[in-house]
Amino acid sequence: MATVTSAYQEQAWQAWSTATATTGTSSSTVWYQWQGTSASVTQSNVWQRWTDCTTTTTATVTTDSTWVNWNTNAYQLYQQHQDQYVPMTQRQVEITRERLAELETQRQEAEARRLAAVAEKTQKEQAARAKAEASLREMLTPEQELAWVQNRHIFVTGQSGKRYKIKEGFTHNFHEVDVDGKPLKEFCAHLTWEAKCNAIDNVIAQLLALKFNEAHIVKRANVWDLTQNRKCVQRSS
């Protein structure tokens, strides 16, 4: 730690005590400023200064006198506004234990309703998907059905003689392929979102369109040529 010079020490003492001297027993000394007396500094003097009493016996010093001297501003502020500090037991309690229990019951009931709604929605979606799966498999040849069950895709030949591969999905899920099944073009044409159909319903619609109205669905689709580094060659109007 660096050494503080005598000059700086005296400046520090004077700043703390607003006195001009740092030694002695006169009213301008640090000790006098701290204890408020020119007498010799004793434990009794300091105690009397802090507690505002004339005795050194702690028993005769009241809590009030000590508190007021140590915290004058806070105590006065408390006296001015003590009517606002009413104990909790004297207030009108709005939320009681019964009310909290009622709120918890309401929360649990709301959560139960939410879970029931989710379960009902899931059940309906699963039923709709099972129904669509059954309908699709009724339309397929044995070869197509086997490919669908094993790989979730089917091959279909359009009216133009072109061959297409439809995968389970909603967008970008059918392609024009060559004789070896290699994708040549990628198409994006699907049921409207407003229809709220599942992916298998969408596959059924694409299958029927490619079999019976190939030109229409191809014209309405966005198309990417996979032989040209997936270049977009058509945007639907």
pLDDT tens-digit readout, 86-130: 555 545 556 677 788 888 999 999 999 999 999 999 999 999 999
Residue type at 63 in one-letter notation:
T
Whether residue 195 is contained in a domain is answered as yes
Last residue of one domain, picked from the residues 59, 81, 103? 81
Threshold 0.85, pTM exceeds: no
71 shares its domain with 146: no
Distance CA(104)–CA(98), nearest Å, equals 10
Last residue of one domain, picked from the residues 46, 81, 116? 81
Residue 111, φ and ψ in degrees, nearest 5: -65, -40
Which residues does the chain have with pLDDT short of 70? 1-95, 237
Distance CA(51)–CA(66), nearest Å, equals 5
Distance CA(209)–CA(202), nearest Å, equals 11
150 shares its domain with 215: yes
Whether residue 116 is contained in a domain is answered as no
pLDDT at 40: 58
Distance CA(93)–CA(113), nearest Å, equals 31
pLDDT at 2: 44
77 shares its domain with 145: no
Q: Which domain holds residue 24?
A: 6-81
Range 163-170 contact pairs with CB under 8 angstroms and sequence separation of 24 or more: 164/210, 166/203, 166/206, 166/207, 166/210, 168/199, 168/200, 168/203, 169/199, 169/202, 169/203, 170/199, 170/202
Residue from 22, 1, 2 nearest 11 by CA? 22
Non-local (6+) Cβ contacts of 224 within 8 A are 185, 186, 230, 231, 232, 233
Whether residue 86 is contained in a domain is answered as no
Instruction: Using the structure block, give the residue that is written with the tokens 């397929």.
Output: 140
Whether residue 23 is contained in a domain is answered as yes
Structure tokens at 62: 């009241």
pLDDT at 236: 81
142 shares its domain with 77: no
Whether residue 126 is contained in a domain is answered as no
Helix (H), strand (E) at residue 66 = helix 63-70
Whether residue 202 is contained in a domain is answered as yes
Domains in the chain, number: 2
Whether residue 67 is contained in a domain is answered as yes
